Structure 1
Amino acid sequence: MNDFFTLLSPALFAFAFAVTLLGGFVKGAVGFAMPLVMISGMGILIEPELVVAGIILPILVSNGLQVARAGLGKARDAVSEHWRYITLVCVMIMISAQFLRSIPTDTMFVVLGVPVVVLCAVQLAGWRPRIGPAMRRPFEIGAGLLSGTLGGLAGTWGPPTVLYLLALNTPRDRQMAIQGVIYGLGSVMLFLGHLRSGVLNGQTLPLSMALLAPALLGMWLGFKLGDRFDQDRFRRVTLWVLVIAGVNLIRRGMMG
């Protein structure tokens, strides 16, 4: 336990626990944004590399549960249709993860903050890209490279994936199955990539393991309580809070 608190004081761990509980609740209630909540929230007080290490196992386990709920049959169909995108996301997560430790701390705050702000603002604006059949393959390649790079550096390949599927006019039920596969395989690559990069190590792994409990408890509460309030309003409020938190991360990076 003493070794554990060499990374975070008890007060900071309690803060990380509370942020993760909130992230799990949001994911359970409206089905998105746990990594964004954890990154933008924990990044207020905790160093970026430690934030990325902390989110890895909660992302891996929660996405595994999502894949299991979707069913293996739908998963196979998703892989056969979107194998290029899935492959690029997985490869780029592994590659970009290796560069995280070489990025200066101030720059890393910006790397974490910019995707949060941009991706949440896009969702708030309701922008839905449209891609015709002729441009599908170039778009698929470009989107896969971008999503995987963001995934390896900041753990956030979910929102770009949603935009990719919206651009292809994917039906909602099929979209959820595809997202489960991409999130599940991507989280495995994030885990492996940061084992290799050294971000997830003997010191940081216990933190990530400890944050599993609030993540899963939050998801359970979100499943139970999510239908008791206006989900669209809750979703928009969450996105606005994330925008503000993301701007604060950028401020920290710019001001040093």
Structure 2
Amino acid sequence: MEASIWLVTAVGVTFFAAGMVKGVTGMGLPTVAMGVLGALISPLAAASLLLIPSFVTNVWQLLSGPAFGALARRLWLMMLAILIGTVTGSSLLASGETRLTTSALGAVLVAYSTYTLFARQLHVPARLEPWLSPLIGGITGAVTGGTGVFVVPAVPYLQALGLDKDSLVQALGLSFTISTVALAAGLLWRGAFEIDNLALSALAIVPALLGMWAGQIIRDKVSPAVFRRWFLICLLVLGVEMMSRLFF
């Protein structure tokens, strides 16, 4: 993929906006980046650009929490299932079926935004975790491998475990980090990783981190609930548009 001035500008603006969303809400960088870039370039190329800034921001989020060891022991089955599901499901992104992967990504965005806008907070009883965690991890991995988006259904599930705020942010960082590494491994295994995009992906770290900094400032001045609501509405509209490409 040729790194034209238009593409470099689009990537910089997209990752700044995605970082801003992450700075305000604690998540959303891969969702925004894949949603916007997937509408401009192929989902496979977008996923290749996503990997480095996503990895850097997620590792930072993972290591900044208070209970890595406890979370790793509690969620290791889910993380293993995410790893296996992502590597296995990456065949969809690697296939080059652009219309199918774009529409699948749109469906994930619609499902995520609709659920987050309207659903009540779920609560998972502790007795269900041993079998539910690997199931959710496997589904998340399949979705990640097919679309490059890490959030569904991992985010709603982790929110339903009753973790405190800091542990939840760290658990999300753990899930996103495993998903990023697994997606890179899956694309490499299938010979679909676009090495030419590594330099541009590395450059995207700067606007992503600047966006996170700006998002933290916005979080102090604007209600996160209002920002989150309009972000999800925009995501829903974008998802519907991407889904429609399968039929037109």
- TM-score where L is the length of structure 2: 0.91
Matching residue of 2:64: 69
Secondary structure at 2:195 match in 1: coil
Higher mean alpha-carbon deviation, 23-32 vs 205-214, is at 205-214
Any idea what the Cα deviations from partners look like across 1:81-127, whole Å, max 9, x if unmatched?
11111111122122222442215111011111111110111000133
The alpha carbon displacement at 1:27 in A equals: 0.5
Counterpart position of 1:3: none
Gaps in structure 2 of 5+ consecutive residues: none
Give 1:8 shift: 4.3
Q: Is the 8 A contact 1:98 1:196 kept in 2?
A: no
Distance 1:229 1:133, change over 3 A: closer
Return the offset for 1:204.
2.2
Q: Distance in 1 between matches of 2:245 and 2:7?
A: 18
Is residue 85–residue 143 contact of structure 1 (8 Å, CA) maintained in 2? yes
Query: Whole-Å Cα distance in 1 between the matches of residues 161 and 209 of structure 2?
Result: 32
1:149 pairs, out of 124, 130, 142, with 142
Aligned to 1:196: 189
Q: Distance in 2 between matches of 1:51 and 1:201?
A: 10
Q: 1:28 aligns with which of 6, 23, 28?
A: 23
The alpha-carbon deviation at position 133 of structure 1 amounts to: 4.4
Matched, 1:161 2:154: yes
| Aligned counterpart for 2:98 among listed residues 76, 98, 105 | 105
Per the TM alignment, residue 176 of structure 1 is displaced from its structure 2 partner at its CA by: 2.1
Superposed CA RMSD: 1.9
Gap regions ≥5 residues in structure 1: 1-5
Distance in 2 between residues matched to 1:152 and 1:243, nearest whole Å: 21
TM-score, with structure 1 as normaliser: 0.88
Correspondence for 2:4: 9
Residue type at the aligned position of 2:189: R
Structure 2: distance between partners of 1:225 and 1:83: 34
- Residue by residue, what CA displacement relative to the aligned partner does 1:51-84 show, whole Å, maximum 9, x if unpaired? 111111111111011112114xx11100111111
Question: Of 126, 138, 144, which residue of structure 1 is paired with 2:119?
Answer: 126
Note closer, same or farther for the CA distance 1:195–1:145 as it changes in structure 2 (3 Å cut): same
Determine whether 1:40 maps to 2:35: yes
Partner SS, residue 158 of structure 1: coil
1:170 Cα deviation after fit: 3.0
Q: Distance in 1 between matches of 2:192 and 2:20?
A: 26
2:62 equivalent to 1:78: no
| Greater Cα offset, 8-17 or 227-236 | 8-17
- Distance in 1 between residues matched to 2:151 and 2:229, nearest whole Å: 17
Distance 2:27 2:7 in 1: 25
Counterpart of 1:218 in structure 2 is 211
C-alpha spacing 1:48/1:177, structure 2 compared with 1 (3 Å): closer
Question: Equivalents in 1 of 2:127, 2:74: separation in Å?
Answer: 16
Give the total of aligned pairs: 248
Q: Closer, same or farther in 2 for the Cα pair 1:70/1:61, shift >3 Å?
A: same
Separation (CA, whole Å) in 1 of partners of 2:76 and 2:63: 19
- Structure 1 letter corresponding to 2:190: S
Q: Which amino acid aligns with 1:75?
A: F
1:183 to 147, 169, 176: 176
1:43 match: secondary structure: helix
Contact 1:59/1:187, CA 8 A, preserved across alignment: yes
